[in-house]
Structure 1
Amino acid sequence: MNPVADRRHTDTAYVARLIGLACLGWATIYADRTALYPLLDIIGQEFSLSSTQAGAITSAYFLSYVTAQVPFGLLGDRVGFKRVLVSTYLVAGLALLAVGTLAASYGSLVPFVALYGLAAGAFHPMAFGLTLRTVPQRLRGTSTAIINAGMSVGLVLGLGLAGPVYLALGSWRVVFALLAVPTLLVAVLAWLTVHPLPASRPGTLPVLGLLRNRSLLCIYLANHCSLYAFWTIVVWGPSFFQSERGVGLSTAGLYTATIAASGVPACLAIGRLSDRWSRKKLSLALFPPTIVTLLAFAGVRSQAAMIAVLLAYGMVGKLAWESVGVAWSVDHILASKPDAMGAGLALFGTIGMSSGITAPLVGGWIRDQSGSLAGAFYLAAVLLGAGFLLLWVPRDVAKPREPRTGPSTCPHPISAPQGN
């Protein structure tokens, strides 16, 4: 590899811009995605939908999102991460614009949401593939935490602004038309910011080999359990607060967004800690208190208790743990199949985010059958327990001593960019 080009792609300023772009990209995707949840009841009333049908809107998004990740991860490994990132993010912005301007019926809304999910599905493997090939191992948890902080920002924006914008303008479609603007701008920024790098072109299809790695498979499945709980809270939390706790539309989304208030500092602190301590021990310490918050979520009634439970969940739940899970996965991918970074991260996202297909549907079905969403939160707690058991299987990957001369030092042969 050309050493001059290598230094150009691992320059401190460039790495900072790359991490910042990935953080901004997650903020935009999460704002686009979560803006839908406070509006589910409004959309359901307009189109005369059951709770299961309303949940199917978000499931359509996640079905296409999950389906896209592995193919786009493989494509990124072969043709370059920048090409895939820019083109798919552009399609995502246009699909969101279509939701806001062309979705006149339930039959047209679902395909546009699915198209947005299909294009957005490329972001996880592309963004983390670009950054985690560049950042040295001793900073993987920290950099992942900074990127994931964008999720928390987007969570606040999407959940917090959707209801007030709808009440102010009287149309849920305007919310998505407005969100299409920053989404399209991110595609432009990615085109201007990301350096094109040669593709790695792995010789064989790496998916089966990655899935045969027991440590990776258990991390992937534990992430599924963690995300099932997260999407149960985020998708159905606003409706739960509105219908079962008497909270108004303008504040129901903000209640759920409270998760991010504690999630951002917890994510940054835990990501940094995972670079210094055992990722396995840290993961095992986070899951049990997360289970307790899910059990408490269904039972609390006072406003103070609801906020306290949401803050507690933010400190130990998905937003806090995912940076550890991503960094831990990357450790194992680089140790076993270093030329399959895109595919390995895509599997992490695909298996994890498949929970987004089932959580809205199962939550809606439980509500239709029982008249309450409490059972959905109890089920999520049970799945978190299964995730906790899975986390006993993976091993830690030894963290090598690295000379601290800045991001341009790449002690692991694949920590330097090998193809994006």
Structure 2
Amino acid sequence: MPSTNHLSRDRVGIISFLGILTFVLYLDRVCIGQAMPFIQEDLGLNKTQQSYILMAFTVAYGLFMVPVGLLGDRFGPKKVMVGIVIWWSIFTALTGYVSGLTTLIIIRFLFGAGEAGALPNSAKLIARWFPPERRGFPQGFMNTAALLGGACAPLVTAQTIQFVDSRLAPMLAGTGIHLVGWRTTFYLFGTLGILWSIGFWMWYREPPAEAMQSRPTPALKFALESARESADEYVPPQPLSWGRVLTSPTVWLMGLINTCASAVSYFYMSWYPSYLKDARGVINTESGNMTTLVLIGGALGSLWGGYLSDWMVRRTGERRWSRSIIGATGMFISAIGLLVAPLFDSAWETSIVLCIGFTGGMLMIAAWWGVVADISGPHVATLFGLMNGLGVFGGAGSQFFAGAMVDHNTQVLGLAGRAAWDPVFPVYAAVACLGGIAWLMVNANRQVHSRTLP
């Protein structure tokens, strides 16, 4: 039997690998938002066409979450995670090779299909290695790393594009090598996932049975009933009852919450750099700094939410309101930030307010993951894929809505600058409020797989 210290080291390794994975996941995902003005100029795109490119990723991301989650539950997370990371890394690099709108849409769709499996199978790993009352920190840490990757993406992308275009490309032009900043950035980012896959494949092993053990509470006994795998071989769970899943109010509420949260998050990741450039007249490198500031707020909120989620569950001994209060409060803070931010004339002041709002909005992430793990039993990857995949409606809708509304305001109403962009903010605030209301109706004790947890 492995020692407690050995098990602790393995858990640290799991958290570290998942943190690096989600950092790369969001770095590869978010960088296109900062590169989009250059892609627009290079390929001659309008805002609505840009929204199609952004939506291609999001639609594939939602469509493939359940299938890749099923693969993780069936074959175990190790093989599936290594395969999907290599897949999306290849298509990250191929983004730099595109020559037109159609090829770019296809590449981003296939990129999204690969990224779809990362979070469901990460949730599977956390559920296999950590008992319920200790999952908040790894979930919060992983999501913090993801948002830090997203936060670094605008800054790193802007600086890389500037370096390639202003220094590296002129230096290599005489050798016959022609570099374009935004294209080279995607080539470089595509290598990171390959390196992670090699390291994870060499290191990972299946958890021992005592990885799930803690104090013998009824909830933990229930969790142990689902942890029948040995340290050497992955054993798939019993078939899932889809009738019970699809009639569960909690499943649909979690999907609605993720839809609302995704709408807000994808606005920041996909459109905020363009808003700063077009509406506020901010240059590319400075818009990268401002977007990074907003996304860092989300990263901090996710980390604090992880600690807070664990603390409240341990303090109160119940999940129903511990999870819901955190989630609802965070979404309402996000809504207030979106309403207030456009009132400021300074782009930095607007970004600071949105940073505070996004900090609140991301407080709910660990609680959301906690509820999904609480209700899913041994089918975490599949059900996480379903509930997270429902967020595609918010993510894709957000990407289309902002671009289409700005085009409408510009081309039909004759508006420009802030007059064309600022009206989108109240809409996103209303969406965040809807997510907060949905949180108040969530009951984490309603177990989908077999029975209600005490």
The answer to whether the Cα contact below 8 Å between 1:139 and 1:272 also exists between their aligned partners in 2 is: no
Deviates more, 1:305-314 or 1:261-270: 261-270
Alignment of 1:18-417 (within 5 A): 18-100=14-96, 102-170=97-165, 171=180, 172-196=182-206, 198-277=233-312, 278-317=322-361, 319-333=362-376, 338-371=377-410, 372-397=420-445
The answer to whether the Cα contact below 8 Å between 1:220 and 1:352 also exists between their aligned partners in 2 is: yes
User: What is the CA distance between 1:118 and its match in structure 2?
Assistant: 0.7
Q: Distance in 2 between matches of 1:9 and 1:60?
A: 45
Equivalent position SS for 1:133 = helix
Deviates more, 1:279-288 or 1:84-93: 279-288
Query: Which letter does structure 2 place at the counterpart of 1:320?
Result: L
TM-score normalised per structure 2 = 0.81
Gaps of 5+ in 2: 166-179, 207-231, 313-321, 411-419, 447-454
RMSD: 2.0
The answer to whether the Cα contact below 8 Å between 1:85 and 1:190 also exists between their aligned partners in 2 is: no
The answer to whether the Cα contact below 8 Å between 2:328 and 2:435 also exists between their aligned partners in 1 is: no
CA distance change for structure 1 residues 379 and 14 in 2, over 3 Å: closer, same or farther?
A: same
Q: Distance in 2 between matches of 1:193 and 1:350?
A: 29
Equivalent position SS for 2:64 = helix
Q: Distance in 2 between matches of 1:162 and 1:31?
A: 9
User: What is the CA distance between 1:354 and its match in structure 2?
Assistant: 3.6
The answer to whether the Cα contact below 8 Å between 1:77 and 1:342 also exists between their aligned partners in 2 is: yes
Query: Which letter does structure 2 place at the counterpart of 1:252?
Result: S
Equivalent position SS for 1:35 = helix
Query: Which letter does structure 2 place at the counterpart of 1:192?
Result: M
Query: Which letter does structure 2 place at the counterpart of 1:305?
Result: E
Could you tell me the percent identity over the aligned residues? 20
CA deviation map 1:384-408 (0-9, x unaligned): 122122112112439xxxxxxxxxx
Equivalent position SS for 1:11 = helix
User: What is the CA distance between 1:352 and its match in structure 2?
Assistant: 2.0
Gaps of 5+ in 1: 399-420
User: What is the CA distance between 1:248 and its match in structure 2?
Assistant: 0.6
User: What is the CA distance between 1:193 and its match in structure 2?
Assistant: 2.3
Deviates more, 1:339-348 or 1:198-207: 198-207
CA deviation map 1:158-203 (0-9, x unaligned): 1111122112212211010010111211111221222146445344
Q: Distance in 2 between matches of 1:396 and 1:65?
A: 25
CA deviation map 1:55-81 (0-9, x unaligned): 111111111111111001111111111
CA distance change for structure 1 residues 260 and 41 in 2, over 3 Å: closer, same or farther?
A: closer
User: What is the CA distance between 1:38 and its match in structure 2?
Assistant: 1.4
Structure (1 or 2) with the larger CA radius of gyration: 2
User: What is the CA distance between 1:106 and its match in structure 2?
Assistant: 2.0
Q: Distance in 1 between matches of 2:351 and 2:95?
A: 32
Q: Distance in 2 between matches of 1:347 and 1:326?
A: 13
CA distance change for structure 1 residues 308 and 364 in 2, over 3 Å: closer, same or farther?
A: same
Q: Distance in 1 between matches of 2:199 and 2:346?
A: 44
User: What is the CA distance between 1:10 and its match in structure 2?
Assistant: 8.1
